[in-house]
Structure 1
Amino acid sequence: MKLNLEPNKSKVSQLVEALSSAISKGVYKAGETLPSIRVLSAKYNLSRDTVYKAYQELREKGIVESTPTKGYFVFNRVKNIFVLLDIFTPYKEDLYNELTSKLHEDYNVDLFFHHYNERSYNNMILDSIGRYDLYLITNFQNDVYSKVLDRLDNTKVLLLDLGKFKKDKFSYVCQGFDSTLYNCLMSGLDKLKKYSELYFFIHEKSEHPKSCLPYFVSFCVDNGFKYNIRTKDIKEIDIQPNRAYLISRHKDLVDFVKICRKKDLEIGEDVGVITFNDAPMLEIIENGISVITTDFKMMGSCAAEFVVSNKKIQTYIPTKLILRGSL
């Protein structure tokens, strides 16, 4: 077990982290006796009180147990899985339900959301170190690597959904946002041709990666569409006949539908609309809303495979355009 003590950190917390990491990596197996307080104290030049406090903290976390005759040993327990997603949505619920449905009772899954709050994201990961066997994480941003991930054992991490950055050392199950947008729009070109102008509403507060915008522009230029990109709230004046709209947020889609009803514009005839990330409601409102989406159930299934097998997986889930009445 490696223990390189840093002077500005608590010796107890560093020993806890080192022991937890060693247990997670299988250096110490379930039921195996751990080095005694005397042995660890001598090996790493620590006081016995420091080692004792570290073992007590590990006991409180349910990682080790002790008996008078056996000393400290690794607790034979269920596998704890840390799942950190961005926000709660119907499609992320699909991912989570598919994941948990494929795991038996020997797995305990703790679910967290960072809501694109970087401080919360970092703190939740730092607080999880040594407490979990595997980490399933949606990165804070799609195109910027979060350095806090370096604190985790990369063999125990699966990156979910977002991942337009160098990530070869990790397992990942992601979706594409850039060229996939171009390809999806091309698959709906016949429907889009009846509109002369395309508007992309991608609100400045939208979590949808802005890196897709050049591909939207390329599609419009290549196929002779006038185009416009808006990053503010949808206004009545924006919604005009003979236009098709891409809308990144479902909240803005609701405003769009309200405006169309107020202006007596028929969706799918007078105006067209495509949104992102499928949800049950999109199948039934306004004869169905066309959607660019990935298969989040497949993402959850792949995540479950990683958890059960603990084998490295690196894949992108296909993204497609589902055509409905809104075009």
Structure 2
Amino acid sequence: MNESNIIQAIFKIDGRRKEPKSKQIINSVAEAVKKEILQIGECLPSLNNVSFELDVSRDTVQRAYVGLCDRGIIESVPGKGFFVKAKPSDSALKILLVFNKLTAYKKSIYNSFMRMMNTQANIDFHVHDYDPNRFDQIIKSSLDNYDYYVIMPFFYHYDKKILDIFKLIPKDKLVLVNKDVQFLDYEYPVIYEDFENDICEALLPALNEIRNYNRIVLVYPLDPMSNREIISGFEHFCKGHQLNHEVRIGMSDISLEEKELYIIIDDDDLAEFIKLCRDQKLNVGTDIGIVSYNETVLKEVLAEGITVISTDFAYMGEKLAWLILSKEKVKIKNPFRMIRRKSF
């Protein structure tokens, strides 16, 4: 059988399916190895030939081959090509991933986690949207179906209903992400932000420059689910260093003054604040200072660069995958830092 016939017989692609074509290639090659249609030690068709025969991009084929390498099914031999290494394992993990909401920041966690897990897990994704009833439905309908339950535990109240739902999840299968809790009395893995202490640690290296401002204002969003630990951390930092400060809830009735530094959590508030600066002809970074929460690509260019204090969301997704694959029951504080730009 020539290489063209091998590709058509083994590499199955269906453009009507929502599943990525790279994953379809992974699954079809894995199945061919499992059924011994492809033998251990056999050389796979080249990236270019598979790309041509299937009418898909070379990058798609390369992602599939890398995925097969990650699973240990094939291996790359420099200068020679890709060769079948071993039969696939049927031990892919089943993971239930439950977020509170899906924002740009949460998408970074999700994408990084999915990339690191690759084909080592089958992952179902849900959003509880802070709703205990929705969370209850998700968990009860999934019991005994998963190896791990990865939960982002943000809720309005940690009442008895929430605690009872968590009790349904097997202790050895629970993993928390983005936030830790205080109500579980057993060891579990978690990668988390320390919202109260993070703001102190991020601002401390810039303390001397902060002292040049007449006042520091934390603009806290109206959203009741924003982490109030940020307020207590901000006040602890300012009081500890004898800084004139204020906490404002939302942007209403804010009166801007020169030589003030504003720490703004919500991106909508940030946009409104910058427009207000323009209306009052205050130059961001010289007349008035801005520090925003959570890094995005847009903040690199907005108003010639907005200084941010932010956790590393991609790293959080990577470490989440590591917690599961390593089976380590440890608590990891995710890195948090200031990224300096012209706004401060």
TM over 0.5: yes
Q: Secondary structure at 1:198's aligned position in 2?
A: strand
Once the 2 structures are TM-superposed, how far is the Cα of residue 78 of structure 1 from its aligned partner?
A: 4.1
1:283 to 289, 296, 300: 300
The Cα shift of 1:206 comes to 4.8
Give the aligned partner of residue 115 of structure 2. 101
Question: Are residue 223 (structure 1) and residue 241 (structure 2) matched?
Answer: yes
Q: Give the Å deviation of 1:116.
A: 2.3
Measure how far apart 1:269 and its partner are. Answer: 1.0
Q: CA–CA distance in 1 between the matches of 2:258 and 2:224? A: 25
TM-aligned CA deviation for residue 81 of structure 1: 1.1
Partner of 1:208: 226
Report the Cα distance in structure 2 between the residues aligned to 1:206 and 1:276, rounded to whole angstroms.
Answer: 17
CA contact (8 A) 2:187 2:329 kept: no
Of 268, 287, 294, 2:285 maps to: 268
> In structure 2, do the counterparts of structure 1 residues 246 and 280 end up closer, same or farther at CA, with 3 Å as the change threshold?
same
Residues 162 and 142 (structure 1 numbering): CA distance in 2 closer, same or farther, change over 3 Å?
farther
1:247 offset after TM fit, Å?
Answer: 1.2
Q: What is the identity, as a one-letter code, of the residue corresponding to 1:122?
A: D
Q: For 1:159 and 1:266, locate their aligned partners in 2 and report how far apart those are by CA, in whole Å.
A: 42
Identity of aligned residues (%): 23
Gaps in structure 1 of 5+ consecutive residues: 1-75
Please tell me whether residue 127 in structure 1 is matched to residue 144 in structure 2.
no
For the aligned residues, what is the CA RMSD? Answer: 2.2
Mark the CA change 1:305 to 1:181 in structure 2 (over 3 Å): closer, same or farther.
same
Trace 1:1-327 onto structure 2 (pairs within 5 A).
78-141=92-155, 144=158, 146-147=162-163, 148-167=165-184, 168-231=186-249, 233-235=250-252, 237-327=254-344
Q: Is the 8 A contact 1:295 1:317 kept in 2?
A: yes
TM superposition outliers: structure 1 runs of 4+ over 3 Å: 141-146
The SS at the match of 2:195 is coil
- Following TM superposition, by how much is the alpha carbon of 1:83 offset from its aligned partner in structure 2, in angstroms? 0.8
Distance 2:152 2:328 in 1: 19
The number of residues matched between the two structures is: 251
CA–CA distance in structure 1, aligned partners of residues 218 and 313 of structure 2: 24
Q: Does the aligned pair in 2 maintain the 1:202–1:230 contact within 8 Å?
A: yes
Contact 1:173 1:316 in 2 (8 A): yes
Counterpart secondary structure, 1:228: strand
The residue matched to 1:229 in structure 2 has which SS? strand
Give CA-to-partner distance per residue, 1:69-101, whole Å, 9 cap, x none: xxxxxxx67432111112222222121111111
Residue 240 of structure 1: CA displacement? 2.3
Q: In 2, are the aligned partners of 1:197 and 1:243 still within 8 Å (CA)?
A: yes
Letter in 2 for 1:116: Y
Q: Contact (CA 8 Å) 2:199, 2:234: kept in 1 or not?
A: yes
Structure 1 residues 125 and 188, CA gap change in structure 2 (3 angstroms): farther
Distance 2:267 2:313 in 1: 17
TM-score by length of 2: 0.67
In structure 1, C-alpha distance between the alignment counterparts of 2:203 and 2:332, rounded to whole Å: 23
C-alpha contact 2:195 2:233 (8 A) present in aligned 1: no
**Gap change, CA 1:263 and 1:251, over 3 Å in 2:** same
Unaligned 5+ segments in structure 2 are 1-89
Moved more, 116-125 or 242-251: 116-125
Q: Tell which deviates more after alignment, 297-306 or 211-220.
A: 211-220
For residues 197-222 of structure 1, give each alpha carbon's deviation from its aligned partner in whole angstroms, at most 9, with x where no partner exists.
Answer: 11111123153311232331232223
Alignment CA distance shift 1:143-1:267 (3 Å): farther
| TM-score where L is the length of structure 1 | 0.71
Query: In structure 1, what is the equivalent of residue 43 of structure 2?
Result: none
